[in-house]
Amino acid sequence: MFSFFKKNYHHPLSKFIKSVFGFIPKNIFYYELALTHKSASIYYNKDFSINNERLEFLGDAVLNTIIGEYLFHEYINENEGFLTNLRSKIVSRHSLNNIAIKLQLTNVIKQQPDLDILASNIPGNALEAMIGAIFIDKGYDFTKKIVLAKIILPNVDWQDLIENDTNFKGKIIDWAQKHHVSIEFKCESTYINDKQQGYIAEVWIKNKMVGTGKGITKKEAEQQAAKEALGNIMPTQ
């Protein structure tokens, strides 16, 4: 396929995958691609380059299916809202970033050295791309076993996820509706540190700014702003 990606059994990445996930890849190409951030894209000409974004897209779909199926069978007495909320927490960028760091994926991701990998979503995105690579290389049933046994079940605190609702934006919108007050989220792109581009968000209630937050994505910034706003308004209820 791409000759420079053809590696043998003894390649360090094969050994890493064996130590972390418990198997040897059939085609190491997919896994090398999964660990190639767009900042380190391999260019063939001005119109064609490869990185892990397509595998990330695939891995996201596969992961959501696996988690959805698992929760469907595990929580037989819960409704759709519970299952959807729990799945969203498990596959959130915050959760996947933490799992990827625990699995030490950050040691093997290829990226430009000036990027702060721990202050970004690069680890979680690479983890999803790895799941996509496993799916292409080994099929769905094998991928499901690895995702549950090696990635999710050992690294997710289920009870904490169930008991703690982290949808701060939803909470403050509910609060505003209950109290019949206007609420507005304002968000704009910015640099959240010297190197990383992201977003800053504000929450305004009755034309007063009550919370701010920063994040790599707009969603993260709004959640952080909502969390701060909740802390500011709840004591006054």
> Is 80 among the catalytic positions?
no
Q: Stretch 161-175: mean pLDDT, rounded? A: 78
**For residues 220 and 216, what is the distance between their CA atoms, to the nearest angstrom?**
7
Residue that wins the pLDDT comparison between 196 and 124: 124
Report residue 7's pLDDT band, with 50, 70 and 90 as the boundaries. very low
> Is 47 among the catalytic positions?
no
Q: Specify the domain boundaries for CATH 1.10.1520.10 within the chain.
A: 3-163
Q: Is the pTM of this model over 0.75?
A: no
Q: What percent of the chain has pLDDT over 90?
A: 45
One of 47, 53, 56, 60 is an active-site residue; which one?
60
**Structurally, what CATH architecture does the domain formed by 168-236 represent?**
2-Layer Sandwich (3.30)
State the pLDDT at residue 96. 93
How is residue 36 written in tokens? 């190639």
215, pLDDT greater than 50: yes
Show Cβ contacts of residue 182 under 8 Å, excluding neighbours closer than 6 positions: 176, 205, 206, 207
State the pLDDT at residue 9. 57
Least confident of 121-125, 156-160, 162-166: 162-166
Contact 150, 21 (CB under 8 A): yes
Q: Stretch 87-95: mean pLDDT, rounded? A: 87
For the chain, give the mean pLDDT.
Answer: 85
The torsion angles phi and psi of 140, rounded to 5 degrees, stand at -65, -50
Q: Specify the domain boundaries for CATH 3.30.160.20 within the chain.
A: 168-236
Give the closest residue to 233 by CA, choosing from 214, 199, 213, 206: 206
**For residues 162 and 153, what is the distance between their CA atoms, to the nearest angstrom?**
14
Pairing assessment for the beta strands 197-205 and 183-191 based on DSSP bridges: antiparallel
State the pLDDT at residue 3. 40
Please report the beta strands in 18-63, taking only residues with DSSP state E, as ranges in sequence order. 42-45, 48-50
Q: Which position has the token pair 């403050």?
A: 172
Residue that wins the pLDDT comparison between 230 and 151: 151
CATH number (3.40.50.300, 1.10.1520.10, 3.30.1360.20, 2.40.50.140) of 3-163 reads 1.10.1520.10
**For residues 39 and 79, what is the distance between their CA atoms, to the nearest angstrom?**
41
One of 128, 137, 202, 228 is an active-site residue; which one?
128
Q: Which position has the token pair 């696996």?
A: 66
Contact 218, 197 (CB under 8 A): no
The torsion angles phi and psi of 8, rounded to 5 degrees, stand at -100, 180
Residue that wins the pLDDT comparison between 140 and 122: 140
Q: Stretch 134-140: mean pLDDT, rounded? A: 97
10, pLDDT greater than 70: no
Rounded to the nearest angstrom, the gap between the alpha carbon of residue 29 and the centroid of all alpha carbons in its chain is: 23
State the pLDDT at residue 235. 54
Helix (H, G, I), strand (E, B) or coil at 55: helix
State the pLDDT at residue 133. 97
Contact 196, 216 (CB under 8 A): yes
State the pLDDT at residue 41. 73
236, pLDDT greater than 90: no
